[in-house]
Amino acid sequence: MPNFSQQNDQQILNYLDLHYKYKTLCGPALQEITGRYGSTLFSFILRFVRNRDDVQDLYQDLWINFWNHDAFKDIPNLPARLYTNARNLTINFYHRKSRESILINITDELSEKLEDENAEINKRMELLELCDEVHKAIDLLPDRDREMLILHYFDNHTYQEIAKMLGLEQSQVTNTLRKSRLKRILGNHLGRFIGYE
């Protein structure tokens, strides 16, 4: 086996080309090339990609791609080829990361919108349930009490206006709307329903 430390890049590439054709791995030749260019290529990738785990992945991909190259003897300038491959891997890495970032942002926005829509649906469902409870409670009232309640709370008429409309004394309207029986039947529902936003 030749002493690769004394050979130039082209001699090592020719040797690798021969071994690649026969599917035999030549560890010492690859070690010599990684020894010559490995640390500078690692630093080159590190300048663009700050995460050390990502740099190590890209560095490994660089050497895997190099070994999978099928014509080593056709590489005229090994350092230029290695740096070009490292640059291309880095560019592809950023393209992939930006696509992932865009997808994550879109997913986050959709999640927020779905949460907002779910909150709105829940609020509407609560309002419908509350409406149902209020209507059931109002239906339990005598007709005159129900009419006063609707005129005051739903149509926003004053006690005085209701008294005139129904031909009653204002005190009768006031007493009816403040009756404990009316409050007991409606409980908190009416206040929650009227104040619902």
Q: Domain map of the chain by residue range?
A: 4-100, 140-194
Evaluate the CA torsion angle 189, 142, 176, 158 in order and state its sign: positive
At 65, list the tokens. 């791609």
pLDDT per residue of the chain (197 residues) written in tens, 0 to 9: 678 888 888 888 877 777 666 556 677 888 888 899 999 999 989 888 888 999 999 999 998 888 777 577 778 888 888 888 899 888 888 888 877 776 677 777 777 777 877 778 878 888 778 777 777 777 777 888 888 877 887 788 888 988 888 888 999 888 888 774 566 666 655 555 555 43
> How many angstroms separate the CA atoms of 77 and 75, rounded?
6
> How many angstroms separate the CA atoms of 173 and 161, rounded?
10
Q: So what's the pLDDT on residue 59?
A: 92
Q: So what's the pLDDT on residue 23?
A: 56
CATH code for the part of the protein at 140-194: 1.10.10
Number of Cβ atoms within 10 Å of the Cβ of 9: 19
Helix 9-21 crosses helix 27-48 at what angle (to 10 degrees)? 110
- Among residues 147, 119, 143, 136, which one has the least CA distance to residue 190? 136
Identify the CATH class of 4-100.
Answer: mainly alpha
Distances (CA, A) of 143 to 110, 138, 146, 159, 165: 50, 9, 5, 17, 15
Q: So what's the pLDDT on residue 24?
A: 64
| pTM (two decimals) | 0.49
> How many angstroms separate the CA atoms of 137 and 181, rounded?
11
SS3 48: helix
